[in-house]
Amino acid sequence: MQNSLSPSTSSFSEAEWAARQDLAAAYRMIDRFFPTTDGIYNHLSLRVLDAPRHFLIKRHALLYREVTASNLVRVDMDAELDEAAGVNRPGFVLHSGVLRARPDIECVFHMHTAIGIAMSAHGGGLRMISQAAIRFYNRIGYHPFEGVTDNADERERLAAALGDNHALFLRNHGIVVAGASVREAFERTRDLMTACEIQLLLEAATDDIVEVPAAICESTVRQLDQHDRGRGKADWPAWRRLMDDVAPDYAK
């Protein structure tokens, strides 16, 4: 297990090194687009494909902008870890809980953006008033606030609240977004943040809000799923090119 700050790249398999670069790029993109993610806290994680009971996560003391492919920590999701192992205990509990419960999920984002926290406390939940919101039609869960997520037994309740959904609002806390790849988790996170912002802005401006009918929501979700399996895959290399330009050290 490579937990040192600067291991040799030869320590990793080709698959793990590619995964590390994708996840490090995602940390840098979140730092660029959603910079108020609570300092060193909040985490993005990625299952190691050739060791599926292990995952990669940010070292506890690092800011998102300091994350690189080589300094990500690889951990065993079946262990009980805390800061002594180099990882944040609440982050380990949350991410290990989701990845253990959902073998179809490879990547998990957890964020404390102001917009995400505001919507997590919204009694009416996410409304279908934008295309970005429709991505989560009947695909978002809600989990009540239990305090800091450092108790191992909360993992089962988190997993149950997420169910088969794409995302989870942690009430009064923030968001969790899951995906079958870094690309999918990133794009879902961008859409969820856009949907939250649109709803909060619109509700502050007017009570006369047009919602998309259920039948159209369901057909649009299918369109978006098809998009993600096809032409949507072209956006991840584009985001990587952006990071290559503005923060190339992520890939080291």
Q: How far is CA 73 from CA 45, 47, 83, 153, in A?
A: 10, 12, 12, 23
User: How far apart are alpha carbons 155 and 139 in whole angstroms?
Assistant: 19
Q: Specify the 3-state DSSP secondary structure of 129.
A: coil
Q: How much is the pLDDT for 37?
A: 67
pLDDT score for 1: 35
pLDDT of residue 11: 84
Residuewise pLDDT in 10s, the chain (252 residues): 333 344 556 689 999 999 999 999 999 999 999 986 689 999 999 999 989 999 999 999 999 999 999 999 999 999 999 999 999 999 999 999 999 999 999 999 999 999 999 999 999 999 999 999 999 999 999 999 999 999 999 999 999 999 999 999 999 999 999 999 999 999 999 999 999 999 999 999 999 999 999 999 999 999 999 998 889 899 999 999 999 999 999 999
**What is the model's pLDDT at position 86?**
95
Domains in the chain, CATH or no CATH each: 9-242 (3.40.225.10)
Nearest 10 degrees: Cα torsion 4, 9, 11, 15: 120
User: Which helix (H) or strand (E) element contains residue 142?
Assistant: strand 140-143
Helix (H, G, I), strand (E, B), or coil: what is residue 185?
A: helix
Confidence (pTM): 0.93
